[in-house]
Amino acid sequence: MAAFNGLGMGLGNLSRLSNASTRSISAENPTGEKGGGGRATDGTGAAAAADLGTGWKVSPSIVLRAGETTTLAEISGPGAIQHIWVTTHREHWRGLLLRMHWDGDPQPAVEVPLGDFFCNGWGEYGHVSSLPVAVNPHGGFNSYWEMPFRGSARITLENVSRKDAVVYYQVDYTTTEIPDDAACFHAAWTRSNPLPYAEVHTLLDNIRGSGHYVGTYIAWGVNNSGWWGEGEIKFYLDGDGEYPTICGTGTEDYFGGAWNFDVPGQGYSAYSTPFLGLHQVLRPDGLYRSQQRFGMYRWHIMDPIRFQSDLRVTIQALGWRSGGRYLPLQDDIASTSFWYQRETSSHRPPTPGADALEVV
């Protein structure tokens, strides 16, 4: 069905014709209207284009003032967002909150720090070569998550920091009919810093409705010496109580690695693949950078985790102590969860403030 209505196209049906229309929103065409690009007469590039005039990159970006919120895209449906590209200076990757609203819902379906949404939560560049998310030098953030909507879509960016941010962006979308079984895209961020002793980090809780979980990104900061990834990830589905339906075997196993991500003689070895990766390894520098920090993602694209009524997701933080015993760790764990469900919004953690977001 998607091949005919233009919602999404894989390589196998890329040649099929569709009645869908393609549109794009940017600072050069903030409404996405047909024939509306390149008409700006004022903007961040106006001085550079003074000798050339309209049509010559007059408004390639916006300035988002400290403490303010801007609307990046306001779209009438039905349709689907197919690609988002955005970049800003890395000092703002944790200080900008990305939100997405579907079909007029005042509550966001997506509320995530900009960098974490693109698997770069530490404010330092980490290369990502995956199917739904690509991050390229130096901070070119790309999302290919399919985001259908029936009535409307609204994307906003809030600057919770004390510094103005220059933001470049482009939102590519299609106007087309949406199948009845197409669900809404969701993403939520939560942080434990530090994780209380012998407690689990909760990625998601109190998610009600039917849908499927499609991805995890974790920015993991280690506060102990030694190995940190013995903990299991658990998915509690459809009325599970004390015990989950799905239980992993270890943190590195869930992210597709093995044996501590340690290649003998090389130590931690970063990798980025279409569906999973340990794409970022930040090592101590012997001075102010005292802790090891990691970035990891796991996309459930080929193996979505289906739920019919409710979902909860947790992960343990475990290392080793003497005598071959597990050591519950008190690490800095910031997770972003990605999922689809019928509802246009869902329960989510409280909106974080600047201090809760800060990389310290």
Mean pLDDT, the chain, rounded, equals: 96
- Average pLDDT of the segment spanning 232-241: 98
Averaged pLDDT for residues 22-34: 97
pLDDT at site 2: 42
Residue 10: band (very low, low, confident or very high) from pLDDT cuts 50, 70, 90: confident
User: Could you give the C-alpha distances from 219 to 96, 100, 244, 347, in angstroms and in order?
Assistant: 16, 22, 24, 22
Residue 24 has pLDDT above 50, yes or no: yes
How many whole angstroms separate alpha carbon 1 and alpha carbon 179?
Answer: 8
Q: Is 301 exposed, middle or buried (0-12, 13-18, 19+ CB in 10 A)?
A: middle
Domain residue spans of the chain: 1-183+349-360, 190-341
Q: Is the pLDDT of residue 57 over 70?
A: yes
Q: How many CB atoms lie within 10 A of CB 5?
A: 18
Q: Which two tokens stand for residue 320?
A: 């080793």
Taking alpha carbons only, the member of 322, 98, 317, 354 closest to residue 221 is: 317
Residue 3 in this model has a pLDDT that exceeds 50: no
Find the mean pLDDT for residues 159-179: 97
**Angstrom distance (rounded) from CA 25 to CA 300:** 29
pTM over 0.95? The answer is: yes
Dihedral over Cα of 125, 132, 215, 101: its sign: positive
Considering the domain 190-341, what is its CATH architecture? Sandwich (2.60)
Q: How far is CA 205 from CA 23, 209, 312, 315, 346, in A?
A: 36, 12, 4, 12, 10
Give, as one character, the DSSP assignment of residue 145.
-
What is the pLDDT, as a whole number, of residue 4? 41
Q: Please determine whether the domains at 1-183+349-360 and 190-341 fall in the same fold group of CATH.
A: yes
CA dist 156 and 338 (Å) reads 18
Residues 53-68 have a mean pLDDT of: 97
Q: Which CATH superfamily is domain 1-183+349-360 in?
A: Protein of unknown function DUF2961 (2.60.120.1390)
For residues 342-346, give the mean pLDDT. 97
Predicted pLDDT of residue 13:
84
